[in-house]
């Protein structure tokens, strides 16, 4: 079993490369030293972010790998220009399949970040970490800033892993995480929306190709089960990252009153999402509490301004959403399809 290495700041400080004087991209604070997110502003008037992203991918990747996320502020990106910016930063955009959150498509492969109600908080997570294939990059764009709240929290997955105590970490490394999902009409996503098809045969083929167990329920709903690793080794930096939905998909993360009502209505086995260890054992409450405390300690909130673009390395940084008031409009594009076979894992799986 491979033990995780030290956190990204352990033992030394790393200097972040900066663009030369007069460059089109300028760090907002040259002393950021890998802090998340790395903030960048235009070095002169009239800089087109998509053009400079295509011209300086090496510089942007260096910032991204060191910090986990890069915030571009002051480039006046709009919905009309966002897709070009996202492709320049991250590559060809991917469709959103095997969905876990409601989203609206606003352009080809550009979606609302989430359609969850504004009063709901979305916990820290990695996009599609439960899937066999997940996006390497996320590009968020703020079209309308919220009146109040609505920040996107981030957490460095390397630092999170470094804080997970060995007794908590070991069962996840050995067994991975089991994700159980129940798709039904009226609560959470239906399987038709999640898999973007009305064909059971298409769903069965999709799941068979991705090691997902399928069970059709008598009421027409669907129950799936899949086991994935809990830790990933970043393909470019070689660093180990805490990369899973063990806490995010667990019912323990719900408010107690909501969890009680759902269990009373659906039964413990009927919840829309649930997690356990990969060998089927439940994850103890104290383990989930420890993970929640670590995420809270590493959480960094990123308030939005209209025109902002946030590039996130999905392996290096978890993200979420604060509740908000006002007409917050944030869109997202996902790119760089990556499979668990592409990344070394940190445990026995």
The CATH architecture assigned to 25-118+135-147+303-335 reads: 4-Layer Sandwich (3.60)
Residue 30's pLDDT is: 64
DSSP codes, 8-58: TTSS---PPP-PPTT-SEEES-TT-TT-SSEEEEESSTT--HHHHHHH-HH
For residue 17, what pLDDT band results from cuts at 50, 70 and 90? very low
Which of 83, 79, 78 is closest to 94 using CA atoms? 83
Min mean pLDDT across 78-82, 180-184, 210-214, 263-267 is at 263-267
Mean pLDDT (the chain) is: 90
Average pLDDT over residues 190-208: 95
Residues in the chain: 349
**Separation CA 135–CA 124 (nearest Å):** 16
| Top-confidence range, 5-9, 111-115, 318-322 | 318-322
pLDDT of residue 33: 65
Q: What is the DSSP string of 172-238?
A: HHHH-EEEEEEEBTTBS--HHHHHT-S-HHHHHHHHHHTT-EEEE-TTS-EEEEEEE-SEEE-TTT-
Kindly report, residue by residue over 107-149, the tens digit of the pLDDT.
999 999 999 899 999 999 999 999 999 999 999 999 999 999 9
Task: Say what the alpha-carbon torsion angle 65, 320, 38, 303 is, to the nearest 10 degrees.
Answer: 170
Domain 25-118+135-147+303-335 matches domain 161-292 at the CATH topology level: yes
| pLDDT value, residue 15 | 39
Residue 28 pLDDT exceeds 60: yes
**pLDDT given at position 150:** 96
Whole-model pTM: value is: 0.90
Q: Is the pLDDT of residue 312 over 70?
A: yes
303, pLDDT greater than 60: yes
> Could you tell me which residues are beta bridge partners of residue 39?
71
Judged against a pLDDT cut of 60, whether residue 167 lies above it is answered with yes
pLDDT for 347 beyond 90: no
pLDDT for 102 equals 87
pLDDT at site 156: 98
Low-confidence winner among 8-12, 135-139, 241-245, 309-313 (lowest mean pLDDT): 8-12
Q: How confident is the model at residue 244 (pLDDT cuts 50, 70, 90)?
A: very high
Instruction: Give the span between the Cα atoms of 14 and 186, in whole angstroms.
Output: 50
- How much of the chain, in percent, has pLDDT values that exceed 70? 91
Give CATH for domain 161-292: 3.60.130.10
Position 283 scores a pLDDT of 97
Residue 3 has pLDDT above 80, yes or no: no
Give the model's confidence band at 11: pLDDT under 50 very low, under 70 low, under 90 confident, else very high.
very low
Domain boundaries, given as residue ranges, for the chain? 25-118+135-147+303-335, 161-292
The residue among 262 and 337 whose pLDDT is bigger is 337
52-107: pLDDT as tens digits: 999 999 999 999 999 999 999 999 999 999 999 999 999 999 999 888 888 999 99
């Amino acid at each position: 079993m491979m033990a995780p290495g030290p956190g990204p700041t352990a033992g030394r400080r790393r200097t972040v490369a900066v663009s030369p004087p007069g460059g089109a991209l300028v760090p907002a604070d040259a002393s950021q030293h890998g802090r998340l997110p790395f903030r960048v502003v235009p070095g002169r008037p009239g800089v087109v972010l998509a053009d400079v992203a295509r011209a300086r991918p090496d510089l942007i990747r260096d910032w991204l790998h060191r910090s986990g996320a890069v915030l571009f502020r002051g480039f006046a990106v709009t919905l009309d220009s966002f897709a070009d910016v996202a492709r320049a930063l991250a590559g060809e955009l991917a469709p959103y399949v095997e969905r876990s959150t409601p989203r609206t498509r606003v352009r080809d492969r550009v979606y609302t970040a989430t359609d969850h109600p504004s009063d709901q908080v979305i916990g820290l997570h990695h996009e599609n970490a439960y899937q066999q294939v997940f996006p390497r990059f996320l590009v968020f764009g703020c079209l309308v800033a919220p009146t109040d709240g609505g920040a996107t929290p981030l957490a460095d997955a390397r630092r999170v892993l470094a804080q997970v105590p060995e007794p908590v970490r070991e069962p996840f490394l050995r067994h991975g995480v089991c994700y159980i999902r129940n798709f039904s009409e009226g609560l959470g996503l239906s399987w038709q929306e999640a898999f973007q098809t009305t064909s059971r045969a298409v769903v069965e083929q999709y799941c068979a190709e991705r090691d997902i167990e399928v069970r059709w329920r008598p009421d027409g709903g669907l129950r799936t089960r899949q086991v994935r690793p809990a830790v990933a080794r970043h393909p470019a930096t070689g660093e180990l990252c805490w990369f899973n939905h063990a806490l995010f998909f667990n019912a323990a993360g719900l408010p107690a009153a909501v969890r009680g009502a759902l269990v009373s209505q659906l039964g413990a086995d009927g919840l829309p999402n649930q997690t356990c260890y990969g060998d089927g054992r439940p994850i103890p409450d104290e383990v989930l509490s420890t993970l929640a405390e670590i995420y809270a300690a590493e959480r960094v909130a990123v308030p939005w301004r209209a025109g902002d673009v946030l590039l996130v390395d999905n392996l290096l940084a978890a993200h979420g959403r604060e509740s908000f008031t006002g007409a917050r409009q944030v869109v997202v594009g996902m790119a760089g399809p990556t499979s668990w076979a592409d990344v070394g894992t940190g445990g026995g799986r």
